[in-house]
Amino acid sequence: MSSELYKNGVSSLKKYWKDDLVSGFMVSLIALPLCLGIAVASGVPPMSGLIAAIVGGLFMSRVTGSFVTISGPAAGLIVVNLAAVESLGQGDMLAGYKYALAAFLVAGIIQMILGFLKVGKFGDFFPSAAVHGMLAAIGVIIIVKQLFVALDYTPKAGQGHGILGSIIQIPDAFINMNPEIAIISLISIFILIIHPHIKFKPIKMIPAPMWVIICSIPFSHIFDLFHEHNYKLIGHVYELGPKNLVHLPDSVLQGIVLPDFGMSFTGVFWVAVISISLVASLESLLSAQAVDTLDPYHRKSNLNRDVSAMGAGSAISGFLGGLPMISEIVRSSANIGNGGKTQWANFFHGGFLLLFLLLGKPIIEQIPLAALAAMLIHVGFRLASPTEFKHVYKIGKEQLLIFLTTLITVLATDLIIGVLAGILMQVVIHLYYGAPLKFLFKSRFDYARDQDKDVIFLQHSAIFSNYISLKSEIERRREQGRLVIDFTHVNLIDHTFRTHLTGLIKEWDKEGKQLILENAEHLIPVSDHPLATQVKKDAIPVLEEKLNKHQLHLKSIASKNEWKFLPAKTISFDNFVGFNFGVNSKIVHAQNIVSGKYEGVRLIYSEIVYDKTPETPSADSQLSALLIKPATGIPVFVLEREGFFEKVTDLASRSDIDFDAYPVFSDKFVLKGPNEKAIRSFFHPGIIRKVEQYPNFHMESNGEAILLYRFDKSEDDESISELMRFGKMMALMV
């Protein structure tokens, strides 16, 4: 990988300027209408959104800690931006705008300080369901607020509290809508919906938001929207302008508005500052982390530096009359999709937006506000879509409860109180599941060195609120190259904790290192989602399991042997990593797990669902395998059937380990491994005779465990029972 991919200077510009220039231009086409719409929805002049994106691109791209993120105003900040303008202005939008600029500036400085204080790690603190609930609430608020713009209806004051008061006016908005404006809105939404499904390349090359602008501008002329005027906030004064069109100041300098600090000693000002700084910091952290997972070069952002850069950018933007900014995920993912390589793509995106502002004013002022509202409604729907509710429900009912608590509280109060309510609900659920109050915010663990690996023995609970302390311990041992997290003494692992650990495992794997999770079989998931919360069986009332015939057979095997049976999906498949079948495959999840000890030897049966190639987008293969984990070390080997091809290759390589005293075994099987002496010692007469007696099983060892599965990969109940019988016999002899 080229070293310039990790740089942000002239050398990376020289090497990748073509890729970044093209991507920057494509992203600017998406950003232009969205920046205008976000500004209008935030109760500030349209130019404020462009100022934020230009500052973020031209200046913050030079100092940010990320590689392919795009900086600018975000839909997720609309709610706090608008709340600041309305609360500080108390009905006077012009005054509220200027006071809000001061709040943006101060919030940016606070965010910059937070980055210097290395708060990036706290992005891992917030429960996943609470964050998604906050984003869904933001989506609902955006939809409701922009619906009135899309229908050209002005909500009546005094009709109820906040957003709930607006919601009850939606029926009246439809009854009294402006049909012409509604048509523009409907056509715009239709374009946004169908664009992803169009395969025609010339149409796909132009982003959907730009198609909305191209198609909506003619309607400004058809419906003669230029001659319907009212007083609008334009720059720093109220001017008579077209009611339903974007309007920009006559010059860029006129659009630069200085902040007013007249409300800086009031409580409402600091509520706005804290809300903006916290939400902006959290969204920047989450977005940067999400974009890192999309980066084809697997680069890792410096989150603390990114938070500081976005804070500094917000402060500069607020000083010039612009909105706060974050590392925005939609535009960042578009940057990756268009081939952007470095932060110069962000720079070019800001440069093109400045060019549009300087030269494109006549065209921009023909854009209907209804088209911008439609784009934001589409964004809001993606944040609060029914599939989001369904996804959270599939993870677990307790996650849905946290999600709904956050969403409803945000709608009834504000973002910060809503997120705190979600966190509190998560804590209550953890206490109900048996998490000790003493270790809610700090991990309790013991540490040991075992041969070639470090082992962390977790105690009590592994939950979102104590993950940060464990992550610090894990990072301190990253250089060791191999670390085991043992859950033997844990009674609860929550969804957020499991999600974070899964991300860490992938990071370690990309570095050629191993982070292994072990001994969580005593915990049961609350749903069949691979990352569901896991609890001790007696922690919650267990409903009668709906098992199919195959699962009932496995359950009966577990019961007869006093073993445990886990029918649900899980990603705790680390015991099965490192064997030959997984070399060119990607394990997706394991399911129908039967585990326990037989004569002191641990056996784990699991049905592993995997992709045949790492590039395959969905699982297409399943392997029913039995793992034998003896207490003592075993040699590494592979035992396969010997066919004609194997006989021919063995003549050339002489790698097959034969036993003269057992010609049938040597003729039927290929036995290979790096340490022939240890393998010959391991395959004593008892094992050889059992292999001859049960010739249908593949057997291999990774040095720590033996993996067994049928050559024909049969999964009928009799085949599984035979696999179990053979595994028990092997357990007695290893």
- pLDDT tens for 432-479 read 888 888 888 888 888 887 767 788 999 989 999 889 888 888 888 888
Per residue in 300-325, is it b (16+ CB within 10 Å) or e — as a string?
bbbbbbbbbbbbbbbbbbbbbbbbbb
Tracing tokens 């195959």 back to the chain, one arrives at: 550
Task: Give the burial class of 361: count Cβ atoms within 10 A of its Cβ; 0-12 exposed, 13-18 middle, 19 or more buried.
Answer: middle
What is the predicted pLDDT for the residue at 609? 81
Closest C-alpha among 32, 71, 626 to residue 309: 71
Domains identified in the chain and CATH numbers: 15-395 (no CATH), 397-432 (no CATH), 434-543 (3.30.750.24)
What is the predicted pLDDT for the residue at 608? 85
Tracing tokens 């092997």 back to the chain, one arrives at: 730
What is the predicted pLDDT for the residue at 619? 47
From CA 72, how far away is CA 54, in angstroms rounded? 8
Asked if 173 contacts 164 with a C-beta cutoff of 8 angstroms, the reply is no
From CA 268, how far away is CA 80, in angstroms rounded? 12
Which alpha helices (H) appear in 296-396, and where do they start and end? 303-320, 329-337, 344-359, 361-364, 369-383, 386-395
What is the predicted pLDDT for the residue at 153? 92
pLDDT along the chain (734 residues), means of 10: 76 92 94 94 94 96 92 92 93 91 97 89 84 91 94 78 84 94 96 92 90 95 80 54 84 92 95 93 85 82 92 97 92 90 96 95 94 94 92 92 95 88 94 86 82 84 89 84 88 91 84 85 81 77 66 90 82 69 69 88 87 50 87 85 55 69 88 89 90 89 88 83 91 84
What is the predicted pLDDT for the residue at 568? 73
pTM of the model: 0.76
Question: 695: which DSSP letter?
Answer: T
From CA 209, how far away is CA 220, in angstroms rounded? 17
The length of the chain, given as a count of residues: 734
